Amino acid sequence: MNKNNSPLLELKNIHKKFGKVIAIKNVNLKLYSGEKLCIIGPSGSGKSTLLRTINFLETIDQGQIFFQGKEVGYVYKKGKRILDKAKNISTLRAEIGMVFQHFHLFPHMTVLENVMEGPRTVQKKSKDEAKQIALDMLSKVGLLNKKDVYPVCLSGGQKQRVAIARALAMKPKLMLFDEPTSALDPELVGEVFEAIKKLAEEGMTMIIVTHQMGFAKEMADRVIFMENGEIIAQAQSKEFFSSSNMPKRIQSFLNKILE
> pLDDT, tens digit, for every residue of 40-74?
998 889 999 999 999 999 999 999 999 999 999 99
Contact 219, 196 (CB under 8 A): yes
For the chain, the average pLDDT equals 89
Residue type (1 letter), 251: Q
* Residues 6+ positions from 114 with CB-CB distance below 8 Å: 105, 106, 151, 162, 166
Chain-centroid distance of CA 32 in Å reads: 14
Q: What integer pLDDT is reported at residue 243 of this predicted model? A: 65
d(CA 115, CA 162): 7
Q: Give CA–CA dist 8/30, Å, rounded.
A: 8
pTM of the prediction? Answer: 0.90
Contact between 118 and 166 under an 8 Å Cβ cutoff? The reply is yes
pLDDT of amino acid 3? 58
Confidence of residue 217 (pLDDT cuts 50, 70, 90): confident
CATH topology classification for 34-56+86-258: Rossmann fold (3.40.50)
Strand order in the sheet with 70-71: 21-31, 9-18, 62-67, 70-71
